[in-house]
Structures are given as C-alpha cells and as structure tokens.
Chain A
Amino acid sequence: MRISTQNFYATSTARMNDLQANLMKTQQQIQSGMKNLTPADDPVAAAKALGLAQAKSQNEQFGVNRQNAKDPLQYSEVVLDSVVSLLQDVKDIVLNASNGTVSEADRKIFASDISGRLDQLIGLANTSDSSGNPIFSGFETGKPAFTKTATGAVYNGDQGQRGVQVDTSRQIATNDAGDKIFQANGNDVFRTLTDLVSMLNAPVSTAAEKSALTANLASSNVKLTSSLDNVLTVRASIGSRLKEIDTLDVAGSAKGLYLEESLADVQGVDYVKAVTDLTQQKTMLDAAQQSFAKISGMSLFDYMR
C-alpha cells in the first residue's frame, strides 16, 4: 500500500497530540486529586458524588442542630435540679412544722422560710437563657414565665414546643412548658406554698384549729410530693432526650466518616494508578517522538548525487 508523505506527517502529528493530551489529563488528575475532572469522565460517579456531598452536608448540619438542642436541655436540667432540692427542703420544713411541740413563734419562722422559698421557686421558674428569654414559657417572650399573685402565681406562657430537627425525620423539643412543670395534675405548687404560708401565719389556739392545721399540713405534704414527682418526671424526660441526642451524635459521626470515605472512593484519584499511568504515557510519547524523528529523516533525496 502506498503511503502519501503528507498523510504520514498528519497521522504522526495527530498521534503525538493524542498522547500529549492523555499525559496532560493524567497530570491534572494528580494535581487536583480528583479522578473525574468533569461529569463526562464518569457521569454515574458525578451524580453519586453530588448525592453523597449533600448527605454529608445535612449530616453535619444535624450535628450542629443537636449541639444547639443540648444547651437549653442541659440548662433546664440544672434548673430543675435546684427546684427538686428546694421542694425537698420545703417538705422537711412542713415535717418539722407538723411536730406537736412547735410554738407560735416557730410557726411564724417556718412561714417566713417557706415564703422565701416561694419567691426563690418563682425565680427559678422564671429563669432566662443568655438572650434574656424565659426558658419555661413556651413560645412567649417579653414577660416572665410566672407572675406572683395573692393566691400563688399565674402562668404567662403557652405550651409551645420549640422543636429542633436532630435527624432526617426526628424533631426533639428543647423546652418544657412552665404550667406542665409546676401546675399540672391538679397541684399548683405555687398555690400550695402560698397556702402553707397563710396556714402557718394564722393563729392556732383552739384544739379544733390545731387539728385542722395538722390535717392541712398533711394534705399539703401530699400535694408537695405530687408536685415533686411531676418535676422529677419532667427532669427524667429531659434526661432521656439528652440521651437520645448522644446516641444520634454517635450514629451521626459514624455516618459522617462513612460518607467521607464513600466520597473519596467515588471522587478521589488513585495515586498509585495515576502515577503508573503517567510513567507509561510518558514512555509512549517518548517512543512516538523518537520514531517520528527517525522515520521523517529518511528520504531518497539524501542519496541522490
């Protein structure tokens, strides 16, 4: 078969261009660390990488959300701990006041003590977070959660649950409504304490008054126990929510690792293969260039005198 001179040059040049392009592409892969420089290199991998990147981003965001959810929950837990020990103290006072040998002066001291505790309790119920918003008033802001009244305290908030998305399909409430903590199950703990104060401040002289006082103190104690149980129940619920967040954190961080690895798998360049390819392609280009130089130098005109 005849070889036209022009065709020989054209074919050789095209071949060397191809080899150079391949070499450049491998070099770019090594430099960028990415196996696929454009979606055309591997369309399936490109779409998969997009999905993995989004899942990774969402996973990270849920991790941030969980942190944001932990803070108010932990704070509530701390405050409720104080409430629990306060109520236990009040129960002790009531027990002491139920003793038959208590004098009028003693009772007045107990009353004043409980009055102080009542103010303290209202203070705890009105705890605000770092932005100045009360933590136990649901969605309401701008007013404290409770306002003291003559008979106890009135709740100014609502039952709104501030939920945080902690996982793809899981929301966790980061707050608890004040009325459900302090005024549920028919026992309003502020009212109970207010009543105790008036009970202990009232003069007791007759036998009837004495037995009435004892009975009232006993029933107040029952109410206090019920209120204490209620607070403990809410605190337990906060505890289990925090535990769930921890569990989700563990799963989330494992998921994050898995997604990173998958992403690297799909997108990342295999350096060993790339460097091997680079060496091979360089050798091929070398060979092509040398053979071209040799063959193109051969001409019959060189031998004609």
Chain B
Amino acid sequence: MSSILNIGRTALAAAHAGLATTGHNIANAATPGYSRQAVVQSAAPSQKNGNGYLGGGTVVSDVRRSYNELLTSQVRLAQSSQSASTTYFRGLSTIDNMLGDGSDGLSPAIQDFFKGLQGLSTDPLSAASRQAVLSSGESMSAQFRTFNSQLTDSRENVNSEIVSSVQNINSYAKQIGDLNESISLAISAGQTPNDLLDQRDQAVLELSKEIKVSVVNDGQDGFNVFIGNGQPLVVGAKTYVLTPKNSESEPGRLVVAYRGDTKDFVMPEESVAGGKLGGLFEFRAKTLDLAQNMLGRMAIVFSESMNEQNKLGLDQAGKQGGDIFTVGSPISTPSAKNTSSAIASASIVKASDLTTSNYKMKFDGTNYTVTRMSDGDVTTLSGVPQTIDGVSFGIGSGAPAAGDEFLIQPSAAGAEKFGVKISDVKLIATSAPVVSASPVANVGTGKISDVRVDKTYFGSPLSGPISLTISGSVISGFPDGSTQAYTPGGSVSYGGMSFSIDGSPAVGDVFTIGPATPGARDGRNAVLLGGLQSANIVGGTTTIQGSFGELVSNVGNKARELSVTSGADTKILNEAVKTQQSESGVNLDEEAANLMKYQQAYQAAGKLMQTANTMFDVLLTLG
C-alpha cells in the first residue's frame, strides 16, 4: 500500500516538475538566449520481490536544457562578422550620403568658380567680374571646409563609439567572470545551473557584437575568453580590462589598450577584428583617413596651381600677382615615446606629386628613413631636408634621438584651412607681364608669337623693351649680348620668357618684347587660370574634377561592397540563429501540448493515490 502511495507520490512530483518546467519555458519564450528546458525522468530503483522486480516509481534525475555548442558558436562567429560589416557600412553610408548631394555639392561649386574665371578673361577690367570670381571662390572653398568638417565629425563619432564599445566589452567580460564563478560553485554543489549557463552564453554573444572572441570551455573552470591575437579577456573568475587610449603616434586618434598586470599594452589596430570595434577600426583606417587625405590633396593642388599661375601674371595695379588661396599645411607629430623633443618639418614643394598617403619618418641615430604608409615603401634619406612625393621632409627644431619616430600627414589638414586669401578684387592677376610686337615698319613676313613666362622671369624682369633682330639663322639683341639659333617656328627662351618667331623676316626687321603696361586690358593670365580646370594637376594624371570623381567612386564602390557584404552577413547570421533556435528555442504550441501531457499525468497520479487510499479503506473495513 505504502509502496503504491509512494509510487503515486513520485508520479505526482514528476508531473509537478514537468508542469513547472513547462511553465518556465512558456514564461521565458521571449527571453533572449534562453534554451528550453526539459525534465528528464528515470525509473526509480525497483524492489526484488518473490515474483520479480516491482518498479518503484519515477525519479526526476535532471532538468536538461536543449543546447548545442556547435550551433551556438556558429551564431557567435556570424554575429561578430555581421556587427563588423554593418558598423563599417553605417560609417560609409554617412559619407556616401554627403557625396550624393548632386545639385548643391562640391562639384557644381568648382564649376561655378571656373565659369567666373572664364567670364573674367573676356572682361578683365570689370570690377563686377572680378568680384564674381572671389565670391564663387569663397563659396567653393566653404564647400570644401564643410565636407571636411563632416569627415572630422565622423572621426569624433568613431572615437566616442570606441569608448562606449570598450565600456561594453569590459562590462560583459566582468559578467562572464562572475558567472564563471557562480556556475563553478553550482556545479561543484552537484547540479547544472541551466539559467546561469544561458546567461553566460548570452553575455558571450553580446560580447561578440563588440569584438570577435574565441571561447575555450574549460569544463568546471568555466569559459575562457580570448580576443585579438590571443590575449585573454576572461580566465575563470579573473577578468582583464581594456581601455581606450590616445595613439602614441597621433593624439586625438583613439586606439584600444589592454591593461596588463604592470602596464598597458596598446593592441595594434589590425589585431582588433570583428564586432563593432573591428568595424570602426576598419572604417577609419580604410575609408575615413583616405577620404580626408583625398579631399585635402584636392584643396592643396587647387590652391597651389591657382596661386602659382596668379604669380605669373600682373594684377590690376601692374604688380606681380600673389597668392589667391590659403590651404592647410602638412601636420607633423612626434611619437609620444620619443626621447628627444625634436619636431619634424614637412612642407609641400610640388603639389602635383602629392599622394594620398601618410608617412612615418624614423631616425635610427645616424640615418633617417621615410616610409609611405599606403604601400610600405621605404626611402632612406641621404640628408635632411629631402623631397619625396612632392613633400620636403626635414627636422624643424631640436635634435632627434635614436629610435625617434614622427608621423607626417601632408594632406590631412588641406581642406580644413582652404579659403580665399585676398579680398581686394584688383589682386587677381589677369594680365601677363610681357607684350611682344612685330612692328609694321618690318619689310619681311616674320611674326613673333605671344610670350609666355615662367617663375624665373620675375627674378629679373624686363625694365624696358628689347629689340631682337635676325640675320641668317641667328637671333641677336638680347640684353646680355648673347645670341640664339633661329629656326622658323622654333621655340626660343630667354630670362624666363619663351616665344617663337615664324615666317620670313627680312634683314633689318626687328621684333620687340617689352614689359606690359599696368592696368592694361589684358586677360591672358585669366585665360591660363581658367585653363587649370582641364589640366592634369592632381598626381600628374587627373584634373581637379577627375580627382573628386575618384573620391566619389572610391567611397561609392566601398559602400556598395559593404552593403552587399553586410546583407550577406545578416543572412548568414539569421540562418545560424534559426538553426540554433530550432534546437534551443521554445515553441509555444509544443509547450501547450506538454502542458496537457503533464496535466493528465498529474491527474492520473492523483487518481493512483486516491486508488491506494481506497485500497487502504477496504483493508480497514475488513478488520
């Protein structure tokens, strides 16, 4: 009797446990990271009886969660990739959207400026035309500056997102460490704490959203979590901490450092992969830095070409033209770990040779080396200063010590300070400094061409007109007494001027070259300024607009690529989650069925106990 009662009792208890577990599943159907639990029953030990073994009821041996380590780790890896590509894409989209501004963007502003210059060349004395050029120059440079500040804002955002990501990593790591300890205690007490295990898995998954991790399940000691190139983040109950730090080579650029036992180790940017943090680093290094340098280079080349051409002409007062634009200078930063206080100097000497790369200059005690960071090309300097890629590298002040390093960014600040320097419209040098003539008194048919000047002309400009004569194949009459060979149509150079004489000059014919009259109605230099629109001044191979097109193409292509990649990564993640959920997720219909099952079992068990009771009553009435 008591044994039947006992069996009934175990059945009741088992059904009760089943109902409780089913209820727990239903309650947690929407809990993230929850794995459905099931009661595991086994038959209780049986009693040997005269007739055989009589069963002893049931025992709830375990509450087990449906969990598959492989599926969970697949979700984790997919999550890291998806977070990385989505973060990179998000950053790219901001820039992509900025560039998509067709009608009020940078390109139309540049076109308007050149339109103004063309207009000025047909009417060089018009104050209105001159003002139009300066005004459109202001609008255009403002566009450059606006775009640049949007890129700088992006950079600030990256920094603040790094800070919050590191905070998250540290907090999840601590959670995992604490859970490791609690789980370890629970397991040594003899039971598997399913909910704690779920929580720990969820914490690792959240961590994977921030950075890619590899997990080693050490059994009772718990999850050991590693990041980067194998640095431990959590070992058992011990947690290591990450901290955001200013880069040694470039203050204002945040990187992530690992708090070791005695000092901080900066993690190299390439080793931080996966997760939001990896996406941020990739965005910054591969797109943001490049975009800002490309924009800066455009501004520098634009400014330098315009300024140099303006200096080859005369302004409205008859003086040699000066700079029209200002532009940001190269940035030189000594590394924080330098032992000396030396500062490297960098200046642009030939803007058309500029690349979009940054440079590292190192001193080993005797020699300087300059590394172009885009492709790792190293040049050993034979002395300082020396020019590489249009930039003159040298030491500005102080004496460097062996091991010192300097970061040089030639074009990063170009667009930030791009602006129109002059406000006096008369300073636009529309005229050329020299006028040539073939006097009408000449008998022959010789004609002298227009004279072009280069930079060296203004070192010793003409003070008065010179008269050249040709006899045979010799041109004479140069102020210094020299003569030059004459070929019809052949180019002749003297004192920074170059010209040609064609036709058949007669003996005694004279050709004059003289300084131009100040304030003359001459738009020759304005035409040359306008011609810079179609000149290949960027890198020697592209025009200004072409260079902008490259920037747009670059960003657009990368954004498209990331859009596809993040879409694919999201699909992979969804599939992995679906598969994992099919194993561990709660299905409410299934739980409804279980509810009915355990409810009936409970009712049956109750009935059994009632039957045992009735049997006892019968026994009692016998006596």
A residues near B (Cβ < 8 Å) are 1-7, 10-11, 14, 34, 36-44, 46-47, 49-51, 53-54, 57-58, 60-62, 64-65, 68-69, 131, 133, 138-142, 158-165, 168, 171, 174, 179-180, 183-186, 267, 299-301, 304
Report how far A64 CA is from B123 CA in the complex, Å: 12
A-chain residues with CB within 8 Å of residue B520 when the two chains form the complex: 139-141, 160
7 A-B pairs closest in CB distance: A4-B585, A39-B556, A43-B556, A40-B559, A38-B100, A300-B592, A4-B581
Residues of B within 8 A of A46 (CB): 99-100, 552-553, 556
Cβ-defined contact, A7 with B578, below 8 A: yes
**B107–A39 touching, CB < 8 Å:** no
Q: Which of A6, A51, A133, A301 has the most CB of B within 10 A?
A: A6
For A54, A58, A162, the residue with the greatest tally of chain B CB atoms inside 10 Å of its CB is: A54
Given contacts A37-B100, A53-B107, A64-B119, contact A5 B585 (CB under 8 A): yes
- Given A7-B578, A51-B549, A141-B520, check contact A61 B589 (CB 8 Å): no
How long is the Cα–Cα vector from A164 to B120 in the complex, in angstroms? Answer: 10
A6 near B585: Cβ-Cβ < 8 Å: yes
CA–CA, A186 and B126, complex, Å: 37
Contacts A2-B582, A158-B435, A300-B588; A39 near B552 (Cβ below 8 A): yes
Which residues between 63 and 110 of chain B lie within 8 Å of chain A, taking CB atoms? 92-93, 96-97, 99-100, 102, 107-108
Q: Does A164 contact B440, Cβ atoms closer than 8 Å?
A: no
Point out the residue from A54, A61, A139 that lies within 8 Å of B118, measured CB to CB.
A61
- The answer to whether A163 and B588 touch across the interface, beta carbons within 8 angstroms, is no
A168, A267, A301 interface centre (most CB from chain B within 10 Å): A301
Give the complex CA separation of A69 and B121 in angstroms. Answer: 11
Contact with A along B240-280 (1 / 0, CB 8 A): 00000000000000000000000000000000000000000
Whether the pair B582, A39 counts as a contact (CB closer than 8 A) is no
Contact with A along B139-158 (1 / 0, CB 8 A): 00000000000000000000
Determine if A47 and B549 form an interchain contact, defined as CB atoms under 8 angstroms apart: yes
B586 touches A6 (CB 8 A): yes
- Bound Cα distance from A277 to B17, whole angstroms: 55
Chain A residues with CB under 8 A of B516: 139, 160
A49's closest neighbor in chain B, by CB? B102
A-B contact sample (6 more), CB < 8 A, given A40-B563, A47-B553: A5-B587, A7-B578, A53-B102, A65-B121, A159-B438, A165-B527
Task: Give which listed residue, B114, B126, B552, B592, contacts A299 with CB less than 8 A.
Answer: B592
Known A-B contacts A39-B556, A54-B111; A141 and B519 likewise in contact (beta carbons under 8 Å): yes
Task: Please state if B115 and A61 are interface contacts (CB–CB under 8 Å).
Answer: yes
Q: Given A53-B108, A61-B115, A3 and B596 touching (CB < 8 A)?
A: no
Within residues 564 to 623 of chain B, which ones have a CB less than 8 A from any CB in chain A? Answer: 574, 577-578, 581-590, 592-593, 595-596
How many residues in B have their beta carbons less than 8 Å from beta carbons of A? 74
Which B residues lie within 8 Å of A299 (CB)?
Answer: 588-589, 592
The yes or no answer to B530 lying at the interface (CB within 8 A) is yes
Which chain B residues border A158 with CB–CB below 8 Å?
Answer: 435, 437, 517
Contacts A3-B582, A40-B559, A43-B557 hold; do A69 and B122 have CB atoms under 8 A apart? Answer: yes
- A43 to B546: give the CA distance in the assembly, Å: 14
Interface residues of B in 331-373 (CB under 8 A from A): none
Nearest A residue to B560, CB-CB: A40
Measured between beta carbons, the chain A residues less than 8 angstroms from B119 are: 61, 64, 68
Contact B29 A6 (CB under 8 A): yes
**Which residues of chain A come closer than 8 Å to B431, judged between CB atoms?**
139
Known: A4-B586, A6-B586, A299-B592. A159 touches B435 (CB 8 A): yes
Chain B residues contacting A7 (CB-CB under 8 Å) are: 577-578, 581-582, 585
Question: What's the least CB distance linking A291 to chain B, in Å?
Answer: 18
Residues of A within 8 A of B92 (CB): 40
Docked CA distance A186–B553 (Å)? 62
Cβ–Cβ < 8 Å partners of A4 in chain B? 581-582, 584-587
Bound Cα distance from A47 to B553, whole angstroms: 6
A140 to B435, CA, bound (A): 11
* Contact B527–A171 (Cβ < 8 Å): yes
> B374 contacts the other chain (Cβ, under 8 Å)?
no
Whether A39 lies near B99 (C-beta < 8 A) is yes
Can you name 28 A-B residue pairings with CB atoms under 8 Å? A2-B582, A5-B585, A6-B586, A7-B581, A11-B578, A36-B100, A38-B97, A38-B556, A40-B556, A40-B560, A44-B553, A47-B556, A51-B549, A53-B108, A53-B111, A58-B111, A60-B115, A68-B122, A139-B516, A139-B520, A162-B522, A164-B121, A168-B534, A183-B440, A186-B443, A299-B588, A300-B593, A304-B595
B378-400, CB < 8 A from A: none
Contact indicator B581/A139 (Cβ below 8 Å): no
B446 touches A (CB below 8 Å): no
Q: Given the complex of chains A and B, what is the CA–CA distance between A34 and B100 in angstroms? A: 11
- How many pairs of A and B residues are in contact by the CB < 8 Å rule? 193
**Separation in Å of the A284 CB from the closest CB of chain B?**
17
Judge if B30 is at the interface, Cβ distance under 8 Å. Answer: yes
Interface members, chain B 498-546 (any A CB < 8 Å): 516-517, 519-524, 527, 530-531, 533-534, 545-546
Residue of A nearest to B28 (CB): A6
- The docked-state distance in angstroms from the alpha carbon of A13 to that of B591 is 23
Bound complex: CA A304 to CA B587 (Å) = 16
The yes or no answer to B402 lying at the interface (CB within 8 A) is: no
Q: Is the CB of A3 within 8 A of B587?
A: yes
B601 smallest CB distance to A (angstroms): 16
The CA of A5 and the CA of B590, in the complex, are separated in Å by 10
Q: B435–A54 contact, CB under 8 A?
A: no
Which B residues touch A168, using CB under 8 A?
A: 534
Residue of A nearest to B546 (CB): A51
For B440, what are the chain A residues with a Cβ–Cβ distance below 8 Å? 179-180, 183-185
List chain A residues, Cβ under 8 A from B517.
139-140, 158
Q: Which residue of A has the minimal Cβ distance to B593? A: A300
Min distance, Cβ B102 to any Cβ of chain A, angstroms: 7
Q: Which of A6, A43, A138, A142 contacts B560 (CB 8 A)?
A: A43
CA distance A160 to B516 in the complex (A): 10
- CB of A50 within 8 A of CB of B548, answer yes
Alpha-carbon distance A161/B589, docked complex (angstroms): 92
Given A39-B559, A161-B450, A300-B589: A65 and B553 within 8 A (CB)?
no
- Tell me the minimal C-beta distance from B366 to chain A in angstroms: 47
- Interface 0/1 of B439-467, CB less than 8 Å to A: 11101000000100000000000000000
CB distance from A295 to the nearest CB of B (A): 12
Contact A162 B521 (CB under 8 A): yes
| Interchain nearest-CB distance for A56 vs B (Å) | 9
B326: interface (CB < 8 Å): no
Query: Out of B100, B593, B595, which one reaches A39, CB within 8 Å?
Result: B100
The answer to whether B521 touches A1, judged by C-beta atoms less than 8 angstroms apart, is no
Question: A10, A47, A64, A301 — which one has the most chain B CB atoms within 10 A of its CB?
Answer: A47
**Cβ of A141: which chain B residues have Cβ within 8 Å of it?**
125, 519-521
Chain A residues near B581 (CB-CB < 8 A): 3-4, 6-7
Contacts of A49 in B (CB 8 A): 102
Residues of A within 8 A of B93 (CB): 38, 40
The residues of B that contact A162 with a CB separation of less than 8 Å are 521-523
A300 and B119 alpha carbons, distance in the complex (Å): 80
B184 within 8 A of partner (CB): no
B118 touches A5 (CB 8 A): no
Q: Is B549 a contact of A50 with CB atoms below 8 Å?
A: yes
- B118 neighbours in A (Cβ, 8 Å): 61-62, 64-65, 165
> CB distance B587 to A133 under 8 Å?
no
The smallest beta-carbon distance between A210 and chain B, in angstroms, is 33
Question: A11-B578, A47-B549 are contacts. A34–B102 as well, Cβ < 8 Å?
Answer: yes
